[in-house]
Amino acid sequence: MPNMPEKGFFKRMTVYLREMYPLASRFAVAALLYLSVAGLLAKIHGLRLVFLSPLTLLGSWNVFALLLILRLMDELKDRDIDLRLFRDRPLPSGKVKESDIRFSLIVLILFYVSFNLIAGKAFWMALIVLAYSLLMFKYFFIPRILRKYLLFNLASHNPILGLMLVQMVVLFSVQHGLSLKNVRWIPCLLLIAMEWAMFFAWEISRKIRSEQEENEYVTYSQIFGRLGAVAVAGGAQTVTLVIAIYFFRMLSLSWVFLGIVAAGYILVMAGHVRFAAKPSPATSKLKRFAEAYILSVLAAPLLDGFFFG
């Protein structure tokens, strides 16, 4: 039987956030993502990264808020699936109310729009990202198709990452007084592809299971087979490595940058090989390896800048 909700909206949402979206760690990751991208954008344009400014804080907030918006939307979109398969999660277990999620989502969207009023011309990019998120929430008005076919759902939802990365580029241009026509778009697009590929791999990795773990929940290992799903994730992670090597050479980055990225790549590939050789519930936790790789790629440019300027 579901747990009775704790008294008070704030207590219930505290429980929810603690389990599903720990605020301190998620903001730290959001700041790391924005500063890492901004650091490489600065290198690409021959500028110095500004660590503390209103727009730097806004860039970190945007990542944090958008990911939380998507998380709250997923709670409502996946309500029926979670009730059948993941009954221990806060919403199906009754620890939080659906009205709490809806109210929090509305308030967060209002904060997101309000804070982006200081973004100048980047404000319109913030609205585009938000509009795409709302279309995702409505399954692009074709819910029967997208709920039934995981690959269609992936193709329609995954572009949000690219849009968020474009938003970072636009915000960076505002912060440094660059007109959009003076942005070096070819290397910027390569940077977007580098970041996007590793997050795409994370999305694939989190839905890979061993045979013993499979159930009615649709996974990529069901669609591609276990080796095929690993190959898709590993291929995307290799794209990230290849582009990182390109930036290492083009921007004359230090061996610290390349070494950190390479170490993360070796670790994630080791996880893939272990699972491919002996698929089991113990070896299928590829999401953790994908997250370690993401952290290495994000940390690399910042550590390079810290040690070598």
HEC assignment per residue over 44-91: HHCCCCCCCCHHHHHHHHHHHHHHHHHHHHHHHHCHHHHHHHCCCCHH
The average pLDDT across 121-148 equals 94
**Chain-wide mean pLDDT for the chain?**
94
Over the stretch 24-81, which tens digit does the pLDDT of each residue have?
999 999 999 999 999 999 999 999 888 888 999 999 999 999 999 999 999 999 888 8
Residues with Cβ within 8 Å of residue 1, at least 6 apart in sequence: none
Q: Which amino acid is at 286?
A: L
The average pLDDT across 195-211 equals 96
Q: How confident is the model at residue 248 (pLDDT cuts 50, 70, 90)?
A: very high
Residues with Cβ within 8 Å of residue 244, at least 6 apart in sequence: 194, 257, 258, 261, 297, 300
Of the chain, the percentage scoring pLDDT greater than 90 comes to 87
Residue 148 above 90 pLDDT? no
Question: What pLDDT sits at residue 309?
Answer: 61
Residue 264 above 50 pLDDT? yes
Burial of 274 (0-12, 13-18, 19+ CB in 10 A): middle
All domains in the chain, ordered by first residue: 7-178 (1.10.357), 184-309 (1.20.120)
Q: Which amino acid is at 208?
A: I
Residue 254 above 90 pLDDT? yes
φ and ψ at 135, to 5 degrees? -65, -40
Pick from 82-91, 123-132, 202-211, 286-295: least confident:
82-91
Measured at the alpha carbon of residue 243, what is the angle toward residues 63 and 258, in degrees to the nearest 5?
A: 90
Question: What pLDDT sits at residue 1?
Answer: 43
Tokens 């500004």 belong to residue: 50
Tokens 């940058």 belong to residue: 257
The average pLDDT across 242-259 equals 96
Question: What pLDDT sits at residue 306?
Answer: 73
Question: What pLDDT sits at residue 35?
Answer: 96
Sign of the Cα pseudo-torsion (161, 195, 167, 119, in order): positive
Question: What pLDDT sits at residue 51?
Answer: 80
25 versus 2: the higher-pLDDT residue is 25
